[in-house]
Amino acid sequence: MNDIPKMRKEFDEQIRLAELENKYNERLEPHGISLKIISAKSLTQKGKIHATLRKVGDAWLCPFDGHDAQQALRLLPMTENLSVYNGRVHEMLPYHMTTSRTPSQPRTILSVDYIHDDLNVGFELHIDEHDPEMMQYFQRTQRELDSREIGLYYGAVSPRTKSNVQMLPFLTFNCGRVVRFQGGRHTQLSEGHLTSIAASIEGNDFAFERTSE
């Protein structure tokens, strides 16, 4: 038999989360970004709701950029530290920031997660290498793709082609306390650098866009 009380409870929870999502988006969507609740329980932040931020519309054609990230941090500011894994143990930091890039991505991705009130919220920002405000925190590097990644993104290739695609350029943090995880994810663990990057995103005047016109 169907467990009607359980089904009713689950439905009520879905309604609660949908109402909460709508409440946030009433404020966010006029600024071009929207919030999507992924789960009522974050896997990494006890007692928080897991949510992501995206650009309104087609996120694939128009990925999250510096303007969107600025709106996110201004409208949903960080309210408390979160737990970040450093490769051995967890430590409390204001943000969880990582850089990464796959062969299918044209730019390095800066992933940002943080706590805003009852939300464990995050977004992925495509780093614009023409933006000096952002690039003061990053430097170019490269990583070696393993055979599995080469097969996944390029298929069967000749030894010559393999040598040409084996090294993938991307951006990493140029200072601070950086931990390099398997798969090319670099995590910043310096609280000072994390808060500085967030402050630069929030206060960016995007002067480079006007000078390049």
Q: How many whole angstroms separate alpha carbon 11 and alpha carbon 21?
A: 15
- Total-model pTM: 0.91
At 15 the pLDDT is: 87
DSSP state of 42: -
Whether residue 55 contacts residue 63, with contact meaning beta carbons closer than 8 Å, is answered with yes
Which H or E run includes 185? Answer: strand 185-188
Domain ranges, residue 23: 4-211
What pLDDT score was predicted for residue 67?
A: 95
Q: What is the pLDDT along the chain (213 residues), one digit of tens a residue?
A: 666 677 677 777 888 899 999 999 999 999 999 999 999 899 899 999 999 999 998 666 678 999 999 999 999 999 999 999 999 999 999 999 999 998 889 999 999 999 999 999 999 999 999 999 999 999 999 998 887 887 778 777 777 777 777 888 999 999 999 999 988 899 999 999 999 999 999 999 999 998 855
Per-position DSSP letters for 112-147, written without gaps between them = EEEEETTEEEEEEEE--TT-HHHHTTEEEEEEE--H
> Which own/partner contact pairs does 58-61 have at CB distance under 8 Å and 24+ positions apart?
none
Amino acid at 33: I
Total domains present in the chain: 1
Residues listed for the chain: 213
The pLDDT, as a whole number, for residue 211 is 81
Q: Given CA atoms 83, 96, 59, 100 in this order, what sign does their dihedral have? A: negative
pLDDT given at position 213? 56
Q: In the prediction, which pLDDT does 108 show? A: 96
Sheet holding 178-181, edge to edge: 33-39, 49-55, 119-126, 109-116, 96-100, 185-188, 178-181
